[in-house]
Amino acid sequence: MRPRLAGKVAVISGGGRGLGLATARLFAREGASVVIGQRDRVEGEQAVTSMHADGERACFSALDVTQEDSWQQVIHTALETFGRLDILVNNAGVLQMEGVEDLTQDVWDHTIAVNQTGTWLGMKAAIPAMRKTGGGSIVNVASIAGLIGHGQVFAYQASKGAVVIMSKSAAIEYAREGIRVNTVIPGPADTAMFSQVEQALAQQVKNQIPLGRIARPEDVAYGVLYLASDEAAYVTGTELVIDGGFTAQ
């Protein structure tokens, strides 16, 4: 069977760990060449080394998602190294557990800069390259925190809610150019981000998941793979919720 991403080139922000790395490894196994954009050079280069050891096609490019020139460099790396760009996964994100009154403006600004502005800048940089190849797929990673209210994560929820509607807007704007834009919305997942949650609260959240466990990174990566692939050729402007049934309650 032909690999689902054979011949395609993908850029993944935050691809050096967690959901991003799981997605990068899955994409590569399905035939894609992957550019891992990561702010932490050590993490990014280690991820690429491990992929090379398994015979997977990947390279690293340093990426600060809040800076437009950094995004331009990552896209340039994809084009110079692999010759094209077909897929962008806006995965990088930050979470700080603070409510409305506890939240500082510095934390608010940083959260919005990474989660919301970073998503916009990624799309802005990738779309011209995708246009040259006749289309592409953008998958923006949001969160169930962008769908339902929950106290003490005010800035994070604001930023992820914005990602959902930004994706819809971009999907409409670029549909006639063959560029699809969708959102993956994970619930709690076994990543470094979820490990920041206070233990008692984390256990409470786990107990509320109908399927009885938090997501493995690979659970989310398979959803991203579907939206990135040609199997989703008629899917744009929508959300794929991967939360073990949490928001069905």
Shortest CA distance to 94 belongs to which of 194, 4, 226, 3?
A: 194
Looking at residue 198, its amino acid is E
What are the beta bridge partners of residue 185? 241
| Angle CA 85–119–79, to nearest 5 | 20
Whole-number Å distance between alpha carbons of 174 and 67? 23
Whole-number Å distance between alpha carbons of 125 and 141? 17
Verify whether residue 222 is a known catalytic residue: no
Residue where the block lists tokens 């560029």: 179
Whole-number Å distance between alpha carbons of 124 and 128? 8
Q: Cβ atoms within 10 A of the Cβ of 202, count?
A: 15
Residues 138 and 170 sit within 8 Å (Cβ to Cβ)? yes
Residue where the block lists tokens 């990014």: 44
DSSP tag of 20? H
Query: Of the listed 156, 174, 222, 226, which one is catalytic?
Result: 156
Residues 121 and 11 sit within 8 Å (Cβ to Cβ)? no
Catalytic residues: 156
